[in-house]
Amino acid sequence: MQHTTIKTLLDTPALIGSEVEARGWVRTRRGNKHVQFVQLNDGSTIKNLQVVLDMSRFSDEELKPVTTGSSLRVTGRLVESQGKGQTCEIQADAFELYGTADPESYPLQKKGHTLEFLREIAHLRPRTNTFGAVLRVRSALAFAIHKFFQEKGFFYLNTPLITASDCEGAGAMFQVTTLDLNNLPKDEEGKVDYSQDFFAKPTALTVSGQLEGELGATALGQIYTFGPTFRAENSNTPRHLSEFWMIEPEMAFYDITDNMDLAEEFVKYCITYALDNCMDDIRFLEQMYDKDLVERLRFVVDNDFVRLTYGEGVKILEESGKKFEFPVHWGTDLQSEHERYLVEEHFKKPVILTDYPKEIKAFYMKQNEDGKTVRAMDVLFPHIGEIIGGSEREENYDKLLARIEELGIPMKDMWWYLDTRRFGTVPHSGFGLGFERLVLFVTGMTNIRDVIPFPRTPGKAEF
Ligand code: 4AD
Ligand code: MG
């Protein structure tokens, strides 16, 4: 069987005049007793293929089950379209109905459902224009990410999802166990006896592949990961998911400046790729949700990101005279409102903040001479806030060990990580890009739940 997508039919002028076959789902049917028009969509493009049915050849009875949501195979001649807005249409000789969709119960009847409603029917929302567009852009961005790193000679490293260490040290992990929760084995002290658990110790879903990524980078030179990560924080915000995808490059011999250069080049590459390859979808999303979308994407690609230290950033916030919901001074973790003020109101450009206080950053970051700050970098974006977090890593064994002890991180879990600093340690750096935050930015959507097919958030694990 030939599998020509509707995208190919619409984009290949050479096919005009030939007999073709199209398959897809009916978006609408309208017309009169002489001619009926079906808008057919197969997900390959935002555009529908118009199917023209000459009613001297079909009966009303035959057409009756061809309702919104039903699925069809149509054969006929591809001809140039008379109607405006479409290049060609198919003049049907015959059609086969694969499946009906009862108009009484199929929920996607009309256009204009709210995004909140569509989240409740996430199993069907990929069939809408909006989610088709978002998911195609998401797929293109995933490809761009691999393309970028592969072209640069990075290796794709797969890090484990089940882990016994807490990379970010935030303690927000989902436990993984096969113990019977109704009948837990206990040790002499009355605590859960994990020696009887599947891995013979407590384990959880990973919050980041970075620690293993560093093992890869200190062997292969330049690696990247791209996989799901899990955070059990109870953050109900438009920018947090409990399960999200992260890209984590890690590079031997890179300092913080090399790291920033790579991060900036990387996000610009991904956005440019989407602009070059997904314009139909991006234009649709712009028209529906975000009038300045293309302009904003181009602006980010065309401008240098502003680079300054956390300390300088805090000073600007303090002197802004703006009343923030969360007060800000040196030492506080920046909230999204602070990040967005710097980006959207002060600089009006993406910003990279560096040298954060060590207390608000993870144990592995390279300590600065001042004893107070670490060589961290966060990339902040308009509408998003933090899109990337990264750092140069502490490569000095003694300093790293001292920090681990200071924070009370259990040493026995960290021996393998410390070995990278014992044997042939090198300066190295890396960062993590939240994939959904990038998709959010490129699609102009405002809620992160609308850029992943089946979102997981506190209290929600349907579909
Ligand atoms: O800043 P984070 O926590 O950094 C790390 O995990 C490091 N290990 C990365 C590294 O240096 N290799 O997370 C990195 C990025 C954030 O900037 C954000 O874009 C995204 O991951 N992120 C989330 N995205 C969606 N939902 C959440 N709950 C997220 N938490 C972080
Ligand atoms: Mg961060």
**Sheet containing 162-163: order of strands:** 162-163, 203-205, 175-176
Ligand nearest to the CA of residue 388, numbered in listed order? 1
How many angstroms is it from 359 CA to the middle of ligand 1?
A: 17
How many angstroms is it from 386 CA to the middle of ligand 2?
A: 7
Query: In angstroms, how far apart are the furthest CA atoms of the chain?
Result: 86
Mutating to test ligand 1, I would choose from 244, 343, 457 the residue with most ligand atoms within 8 A of its C-beta, which is 244
Per the CB < 8 A criterion, the answer to whether 36 and 63 are in contact is yes
**109-160 pLDDT tens trace:** 877 899 999 999 999 999 999 999 999 999 999 999 999 999 999 999 999 9
Half-sphere exposure of 453 (CA within 13 A, CB side): 11
Ligand nearest to the CA of residue 233, numbered in listed order? 1
**350-372 pLDDT tens trace:** 999 999 999 999 999 999 999 99
Give me the amino acid identity at 264: E
Residue closest by Cα to atom 2 of ligand 1? 389
The residue behind tokens 């303690």 is: 171
Per the CB < 8 A criterion, the answer to whether 69 and 101 are in contact is yes
**184-215 pLDDT tens trace:** 999 999 999 999 999 999 999 999 999 999 99
CA dist., res. 8 & res. 69, Å (int): 22
Ligand nearest to the CA of residue 209, numbered in listed order? 1
How many angstroms is it from 230 CA to the middle of ligand 1?
A: 10
For residue 168, give both structure tokens.
């970010």
How many angstroms is it from 412 CA to the middle of ligand 1?
A: 25
Residue closest by Cα to atom 29 of ligand 1? 240
- Confidence band (pLDDT; 50, 70, 90) for 1? low
Dihedral angle, C-alpha 5, 11, 14, 15, nearest 10 ° = 30
Ligand nearest to the CA of residue 455, numbered in listed order? 1
Atom of ligand 1 nearest to the CA of 390: 11
Which residues approach ligand 1 with their CB closer than 6 A? 167-168, 208, 210, 231, 240-241, 244, 246, 248, 386-391, 430-432, 434, 436-437
CA dist., res. 438 & res. 288, Å (int): 19
Per the CB < 8 A criterion, the answer to whether 120 and 114 are in contact is no
Atom of ligand 1 nearest to the CA of 240: 26
Atom of ligand 1 nearest to the CA of 242: 28
How many angstroms is it from 30 CA to the middle of ligand 1?
A: 48
Q: C-alpha 224: how far from its chain's center?
A: 16
DSSP, residue by residue, 216-234? HHHHHSEEEEEEEEE----
How many angstroms is it from 406 CA to the middle of ligand 1?
A: 24
- Confidence band (pLDDT; 50, 70, 90) for 56? very high
| pLDDT of residue 166 exceeding 90 | no
Q: Supply the pLDDT for residue 109.
A: 86
| pLDDT of residue 107 exceeding 90 | yes
Atom of ligand 1 nearest to the CA of 246: 21
Ligand nearest to the CA of residue 333, numbered in listed order? 2
Mutating to test ligand 1, I would choose from 166, 242, 246, 351 the residue with most ligand atoms within 8 A of its C-beta, which is 246
Mutating to test ligand 1, I would choose from 222, 334, 437, 442 the residue with most ligand atoms within 8 A of its C-beta, which is 437
Residue closest by Cα to atom 21 of ligand 1? 434
- φ and ψ at 10, to 5 degrees? -75, -25
How many angstroms is it from 386 CA to the middle of ligand 1?
A: 9
**228-265 pLDDT tens trace:** 999 999 989 999 999 999 999 999 999 999 999 999 99
CA dist., res. 176 & res. 40, Å (int): 45
